[in-house]
Structure 1
Amino acid sequence: MPPANRAVAYLKPGAVEVRTIDYPTLELQDGPGVAPDNVGRKRRHGVILKVLASNICGSDQHMVRGRTTAPEGLVLGHEITGEVVERGPDVETIDVGDIVSVPFNIACGRCRNCKERKTGICLNVNPARPGAAYGYVDMGGWVGGQAEYVMVPYADFNLLRFPDRDQAREKLLDLTMLSDIFPTGFHGVVSSGAGVGSTVYVAGAGPVGLAAAASAQLLGAAVVIVGDLNAERLAQARSFGCATVDVSRGGVDEQIAEILGEPEVDAAVDAVGFEARAHGPDAPEAPATVLNSLMGITRAGGALGIPGLYVTDDPGGVDEDAKSGTPKVRLGLGWAKSHRFTTGQCPVMTYHRSLMMAILHERVHIAKAVGATVIGLDEAPRGYAEFDQGASRKYVLNPHGALDRVRPV
């Protein structure tokens, strides 16, 4: 008999629960959110993981708030680190016992986009559109990893194997950030053109924004400024050397000028996405606020990295444009300033090995930067509720106790 498998499932807006689900097999079964054309796909090239760490992400929170078309019962979780307990007959380079990081974007390694390293828009894993992810609405229906066990397809291509099991367990709280937010934040900064000596503004001090800020420092930025409405999150950004802007005070450009002596930066990152709010006290939701603000404060010829999530359907949108994913972006300003824009899923495999090496050799302390906080699987509903209220923490689920004695390094 296979072991029991408990997982975090979406119920309705504002509610998740831990429930027992089927133990994974090397075949994609029918279930909530599974694309009909994916049902029955055999994954001889897949593995089953014992989940050692799985993180709650802001993208999960969008679904839990009811801001997507996620169905009831969808098993959540696309940030997964685990130990291989079973491998398919076609797996060649991954062994039982390996500890691995799972890129949140699922990629086949065979299609044109994968061969061009555009693994966030694989053509073979989601019948509905390019790109897939675990436990996410409209992303193919691959079962999420906020669970005790999960199946990962195309293991040889997707998985990042840590070179030393003991070292991996020691640094597990940092290494678990490699599945999504660290590469995503890093991608946002690289896309913004930031580098040695740059001045960088990061909109949003949630975990992705904090990861972007730490990435900008890793890349040699001269000044990193983080903007947010949340005082606790701004304090977290200052804890590792960032300057901050409180957007509840109003305009960003004046506060940037107070820091830099001029109201512009070289590079900007949108780590907020479609649930943005206008600037000022008690500001209403305004989906294009961040994008329009960044075009205003980024120098002519600069670039915007946009890892923040924008969706094609938002049932809770403030108007009909927002509900169809059509924010009122001031594109003319970006055009006049010759800005470059990079959007979409981060291609995690472009970055994760290099970032792993930075963690293993202690060039970056990403768990501390993002406020990593370990909780049990049964505490997931509390983690979601506190995260929704703006807690400055990155909640990491610990389904098998692998993180019981692990601390940020």
Structure 2
Amino acid sequence: MSTNRGVVYIKPGVVEVQSIDFPKLALGNRKCEHGVILQIVSTNICGSDQHMVRGRTTAPAGLVLGHEITGVVLEAGRDVEFIKAGDLVSVPFNIACGRCRNCKAGQTGICLNVNPSRPGAAYGYVDMGGWVGGQAEYVMVPYADFNLLKFPDKDQAMAKIRDLTLLSDIFPTGFHGAVTAGVGPGSVVYVAGAGPVGLACAASCHLLGAAVVIVGDMIPERLEQARSFGCEIVDLRSDTPLPDQIAGIIGVPEVDAAVDCVGFEARGHGHAAGTEQPATVLNAAMQITRAGGAVGIPGLYVTEDPGAHEEAAKTGNLSLRLGLGWAKSLSFATGQCPVMKYHRQLMNTIIYDKIQIAKAVNVQVIRLDDAPGGYHDFDKGAAKKFVLDPNGMIPN
């Protein structure tokens, strides 16, 4: 019998690499002929995973983590027509059926048929349908013809795998944040958060033609990573108000577009930098975005946060200054990125050397057995994107 190992959530602060079931082409008691089994080439640790591991969600013990997956097709179900054994593919973190009204409209982040509790599903994530995660050696992917992006040249893709692995989530997510904020040629943009999604968003802003990209964070190493590929930076630990810091860079205290790449574990700015204030980024974005501008919100917000410091925030209720946003006629875009809307085009930007996204987010490849250490370092604010190599397939 084939074996499999994966990264398993044990309790807050603890993950372990354990033996797990080898995937089957099955959904409950019925065959999943539209699915494939993948041998995983690369699978990434995401900030969204970190929320669960910190105990900030209702994730159950025993959950196999991981929604950022790239792999080689090992076996395909009878109904899979266009994906074949041996194909190297990128897996969107959204699981989508391709058949419901939302999928047909391109809203694959909120598929209606893959999660009995709410629209939208993902691998290895709390309340997202119970799908087994992909921080493992092997995983099953359903609706393969619809979901999977096949790389046209396998050898070429393996040579750029550190970049292409980011197509499963953070590159499209950062790009989506920029697009929904209205970033285009000549834009001045503020990106909140210099974690991997924030850095991917900042790089995406450059790709979209932004004139100035300003990145805010509280971790010096992450700010230096943003500066390394041409971003302006603001240190949110400073007592100088954010609008004044922005004015010091561009001469005025407002930007055309803002993107929240932080989410619900946001902390206060300046003298309140050590205090969790979940609405801080959203309120700051409304303050600094020009009238008629837009705010993209790819940062994660949850409906249940048992570790919240404020009682209201435990059910996702935040103290938003929405009146300011209304008065300025701001637009807001929230929710999961519909990865399939972007991933083929972004693949081409990598293949044809229009962007060095792995360099921008500082990819570091580690073994599957080193995943617990990767989670620990990431939780401490490492300015890195940890990519797991479960089967020793990523070239040096």
Deviations 1:2-53 (A, max 9, x none): x21000000000000000001000113xxxxxxxxxx335321000000000
**Correspondence for 2:137 among 137, 142, 148:** 148
Aligned to 1:32: none
Counterpart of 2:216, as a letter, is G
Q: 2:14–2:53: 8 Å Cα contact kept in structure 1?
A: yes
Q: Which stretch of structure 1 is more off in the superposition, 314-323 or 40-49?
A: 40-49
Counterpart of 1:4, as a letter, is T
Counterpart of 1:306, as a letter, is I
Q: Does 1:252 align with 2:251?
A: no
Aligned to 1:358: 349
Aligned to 2:12: 13
Note the 1:97-246 alignment, pairs <5 A.
Answer: 97-246=86-235
- The alignment partner of 2:123 has SS state of coil
Aligned to 1:304: 295
**Correspondence for 2:382 among 391, 395, 400:** 391
Aligned to 2:65: 76
CA distance in 2 between counterparts of 1:291 and 1:42 reads 45
CA distance in 2 between counterparts of 1:384 and 1:9 reads 12
Any runs of at least 4 consecutive aligned residues in structure 1 with deviations exceeding 6 A, and if so which? none
Q: Does 1:371 align with 2:362?
A: yes
Counterpart of 2:333, as a letter, is T
CA distance in 2 between counterparts of 1:270 and 1:11 reads 30
Aligned to 1:34: none
CA distance in 2 between counterparts of 1:355 and 1:142 reads 26
Deviations 1:329-349 (A, max 9, x none): 110000000000000000000
Note the 1:303-342 alignment, pairs <5 A.
Answer: 303-342=294-333
Task: Report percent identity of matched pairs.
Answer: 70
Counterpart of 2:125, as a letter, is Y
Counterpart of 1:102, as a letter, is V
Aligned to 1:4: 3
Q: Which stretch of structure 1 is more off in the superposition, 281-290 or 258-267?
A: 281-290
Query: What TM-score do the two structures reach when normalised by structure 1?
Result: 0.96
Q: 2:93–2:169: 8 Å Cα contact kept in structure 1?
A: yes
Counterpart of 1:17, as a letter, is E
The alpha-carbon deviation at position 257 of structure 1 amounts to: 0.3
**Correspondence for 2:85 among 79, 82, 96:** 96
CA distance in 2 between counterparts of 1:273 and 1:27 reads 35
Note the 1:39-54 alignment, pairs <5 A.
Answer: 39-54=28-43
Query: What TM-score do the two structures reach when normalised by structure 2?
Result: 0.99
Aligned to 2:74: 85
Aligned to 1:35: none
Counterpart of 2:107, as a letter, is K
CA distance in 1 between counterparts of 2:306 and 2:136 reads 27
Structure 2 gap segments, 5+ residues each: none
Aligned to 1:294: 285
CA distance in 2 between counterparts of 1:44 and 1:145 reads 19
Q: 2:159–2:395: 8 Å Cα contact kept in structure 1?
A: no
Deviations 1:76-120 (A, max 9, x none): 000000000000000000000000000000000000000000000
Aligned-residue Cα RMSD (Å) equals: 0.7
CA distance in 2 between counterparts of 1:125 and 1:165 reads 30
The alpha-carbon deviation at position 123 of structure 1 amounts to: 0.2
Note the 1:256-267 alignment, pairs <5 A.
Answer: 256-267=246-257
The alpha-carbon deviation at position 400 of structure 1 amounts to: 1.0
- The alignment partner of 1:257 has SS state of helix
CA distance in 1 between counterparts of 2:113 and 2:49 reads 23
Structure 1 gap segments, 5+ residues each: 29-38
